[in-house]
Amino acid sequence: MHSTVQLLAKTDFPPIQRINLQTLQVNLGYLCNQSCTHCHVNAGPNRTELMQDEQVDQLIQLMRQGWVKILDLTGGAPEMNPRFKRLVIAAREFEVHVIDRCNLTILSEPGYEDLAEFLAIHQVEVCASLPCYLEDNVDKQRGKGVFDASIVGLQKLNQLGYGDQLVLNLVFNPQGAVLPPSQQSLEKAYKEVLLEKFGIRFNSLFTITNMPIARFGSTLISKGIFNQYMNTLKAAHSELNLNSVMCRGLVSVDYEGTLYDCDFNQQLGWPIRDRLGRALKLGSLTQTALNDLPIVVGDHCFGCTAGQGSSCTGALD
């Protein structure tokens, strides 16, 4: 049987032109307080892979250069890396906008009682996955009790001003092999239900298309519907979305400091390579260092351009 990596490599996806970098999306490691069955990096409480001081120092050095506008932190639970706060404080000193991809339950874990307040003080944007506003669906996807703990986390954030003057965004991705529904209508439904049932406010809902890679890709293969899903993505390809796919101005960094065009390429293990074929590392990064290097595309890229388009900040159009 082919792996998703093999299936995606041969592609007719059009080449994409890079523009100057503005965003660093950084995976701080695979340690997490949860172990969701769908997790694309198999994160969990026993994982030991964490970004070390050397790479964190390199990131701070890059932000000192003044061109980084956004630092987008992912994991695992990025807050569980003991260097998280140092990195956020440094970023804010350089006036870099920080996004924390937060699983919400971490806000109630012992030892993290001050985390929500820390995020608020440093005006960190919180971006949290809430795959549904119904308890059963969330617990099925992310584990028993996760919905209740997520609601508590959201209420805590609201009390600190999130959803008002501080930015709190939620992320939705479909449960199956279908494209997400309209972001606008779903956001409206989320806002109504969360406010009415739990008094929760948030800024925007990001709908994200499931990528045919990692665990979701393997599930598609084992169910025999990989090609069918690829056809759905390709049939919905919109040329216009090519202008705003996130890899044009973003670089993704893994916990060891290797560079990728996006988080999806990171999951596929497809790094950005120099002309000699060497995988690029943080130490060689500048704002323009990647400008002449091609963006590594595969069939999964149709996940970014299908329908209303998809990125880590939701729909593109």
> Residues interacting with ligand SF4, by CB under 6 A?
32, 34-36, 39, 43-44, 75-77, 103, 142, 245-247, 261-262, 264-265, 295, 297, 300-301, 304
Q: How far apart are the first and last CA of the chain?
A: 36
103 vs 258 by CB, closer to ligand SF4 = 103
Nearest to 256 by CA among 232, 280, 289, 288: 280
Least Å distance, CB 135 to ligand SF4, is 17
Helix (H, G, I), strand (E, B) or coil at 258: strand
35 vs 155 by CB, closer to ligand SF4 = 35
185 vs 291 by CB, closer to ligand SF4 = 291
Least Å distance, CB 121 to ligand SF4, is 24
Q: Which phi and psi angles does 172 have, rounded to 5°?
A: -120, 135
Cα 194–Cα 196–Cα 199 angle in degrees, nearest 5: 65
Nearest to 215 by CA among 146, 264, 145, 150: 264
82 vs 199 by CB, closer to ligand SF4 = 82
Q: How many Å apart are CA 231 and CA 207, to the nearest integer?
A: 20
Least Å distance, CB 213 to ligand SF4, is 9
Least Å distance, CB 264 to ligand SF4, is 4
**Side-chain-side CA neighbours of residue 142 (13 Å):** 25
Least Å distance, CB 245 to ligand SF4, is 4
| CA 262 to each of CA 19, 77, 149, 166: distance values in angstroms, whole numbers, following the listed order | 14, 18, 30, 26
34 vs 90 by CB, closer to ligand SF4 = 34
Residues in the chain: 317
90 vs 154 by CB, closer to ligand SF4 = 154
Q: How many Å apart are CA 259 and CA 12, to the nearest integer?
A: 24
Cα 303–Cα 305–Cα 309 angle in degrees, nearest 5: 95
Least Å distance, CB 295 to ligand SF4, is 5
Q: Tell me, what amino acid is at 20?
A: N
For 47-73, letters b (16+ CB in 10 Å) and e give bebbbeeebbebbbebbeeeebebbbb
23 vs 183 by CB, closer to ligand SF4 = 23
3-state SS of 201-235?
A: CCCEEEECCCCCCHHHHHHHHHCCCHHHHHHHHHH
158 vs 265 by CB, closer to ligand SF4 = 265
Least Å distance, CB 34 to ligand SF4, is 4
Least Å distance, CB 297 to ligand SF4, is 5
